[in-house]
Amino acid sequence: MSREKVTVLGLGQMGSALAEAFLAAGHPTTVWNRTPAKAEAAAARGARRAGTVAEAVEASGLVVVCVLDYAAVRELLDPVAGLLAGRTLVNVTSGSPEQARETAAWAAGPGARYLDGGIMTTPPGVGSPASMFLYSGTPEAFAAHRDTLAVLGDPIDLGEDAGLASLYDTGLLGLMWSVFGGWLHATALAGADGVAARAFTPVAVRWLSTVGLFMERYAGQIDEGRYPGDDATIDVQLAAVEHLLHAGRARGVDGRLPELHRELMAKAVADGHGGDSYGRLIEAFRPAD
């Protein structure tokens, strides 16, 4: 069975991983990189090495670009914008939702279909169905190329607004760093009493699955704007965080993260919301009216 032709522009660590995944799945793959030597590895695995951006774009109906930033995307593609007519441009370069929407409008000018992408893995995870790849933009483009994009990882369609993939990407990275921070604090706390990180972490990972259930419950409350404290109220959790802070102080563990949680909970209690669920604290992060 013939496979769709793909072009990959940009062969840093991530771009190289993308090209390798397409090649491994049997897709005829054309590659281009500003530094030609970086294309040698992909060429050795069977990729066609283009001499120019124009040659690379003309080689395929699906053009994937993965470079440093959106300014670099436009620097590469502005001179060949006319060649994008009738093609699908998938931009997995990291940036802001505003940049994604601006680029989608720019791509529509010459008649290209546009998808913005968020890669929710590191290069070694490319090609695994367990890895999420977020896409937003032209619905027809996602439908037409879904099977090809699936060789990179599980393709998640976030809808027509081209900025959503970047918005989810940045939000999810914030979630990741918050989880890492909480895990590192907890691991330091347990480690102060001689518990190895390898012993503590499996229990922590199992606990995260329960935390996920709470998140799903609170999501409905957030959308409805109602926060019934029918599981664990904020005032009960405020008392619990004091135990965490006490344990940390006794062990010399930096308590800035739990102190932030205490501050947010104490403010909600002071405002009369102590009987609400933890989901109420989203109001602390929302813009003031």
228: in domain: yes
My answer on whether 235 and 140 are in the same domain is no
- Tracing tokens 């308590």 back to the chain, one arrives at 255
Q: Report DSSP state, residue 289.
A: -
My answer on whether 202 and 271 are in the same domain is yes
Can you tell me the mean pLDDT for 25-47? 97
My answer on whether 13 and 135 are in the same domain is yes
Please list, residue by residue across 125-159, b when 16 or more beta carbons sit within 10 angstroms of its beta carbon and e when fewer do.
Answer: ebbeeebbbbbbbbeebbebbeebbebbbebbbbe
Q: Does position 165 have pLDDT exceeding 70, yes or no? A: yes
Q: Regarding beta strands 132-137 and 88-91, do their DSSP bridges make them parallel or antiparallel, or are they unpaired?
A: unpaired
183: in domain: no
My answer on whether 13 and 156 are in the same domain is yes
My answer on whether 97 and 206 are in the same domain is no
Let me know the angle formed at the C-alpha of 60 by 54 and 64, rounded to the nearest 5 degrees.
80
Examine the fold and report which residue of 112, 142, 161 is the final residue of a domain before the chain moves on.
161
25: in domain: yes
What pLDDT score does 289 carry? Answer: 77
Q: Does position 288 have pLDDT exceeding 90, yes or no? A: no
Domain count, the chain: 2
Q: What confidence tens digit (pLDDT) does each residue in 203-248 have?
A: 999 999 999 999 999 999 999 999 999 989 999 999 999 999 999 9
Can you tell me the mean pLDDT for 20-46? 97
Q: What confidence tens digit (pLDDT) does each residue in 58-112 have?
A: 999 999 999 999 999 999 999 999 999 999 999 999 999 999 999 999 999 999 9
What pLDDT score does 2 carry? Answer: 83
- Tell me the CATH number at 140: 3.40.50.720
Q: What confidence tens digit (pLDDT) does each residue in 240-274 have?
A: 999 999 999 999 999 999 999 999 999 999 999 99
Can you tell me the mean pLDDT for 170-175? 97
Can you tell me the mean pLDDT for 132-157? 98
Can you tell me the mean pLDDT for 153-159? 98
My answer on whether 102 and 241 are in the same domain is no
174: in domain: no
Q: Does position 14 have pLDDT exceeding 80, yes or no? A: yes
170: in domain: no
**In 2-77, which ranges are E strands?**
6-9, 29-32, 48-49, 62-65
179: in domain: no
Cβ 62 vs Cβ 6: under 8 Å = yes
Q: Does position 1 have pLDDT exceeding 70, yes or no? A: no
My answer on whether 99 and 227 are in the same domain is no
219: in domain: yes
My answer on whether 134 and 47 are in the same domain is yes
**In 110-242, which ranges are E strands?**
113-120, 132-137, 154-157
Percent of the chain with pLDDT over 90: 98
What residues make up the domain containing 56?
A: 6-161
Q: Does position 143 have pLDDT exceeding 80, yes or no? A: yes
My answer on whether 109 and 247 are in the same domain is no
Examine the fold and report which residue of 142, 161, 180 is the final residue of a domain before the chain moves on.
161
Query: Environment class of residue 214 by beta-carbon count within 10 Å: exposed (0-12), middle (13-18) or buried (19+)?
Result: middle
- Answer whether 0.85 is exceeded by the pTM: yes
Q: In what order do the strands lie in the sheet with 6-9?
A: 48-49, 29-32, 6-9, 62-65, 88-91, 113-120, 132-137, 154-157
For residue 29, the SS3 value is: strand
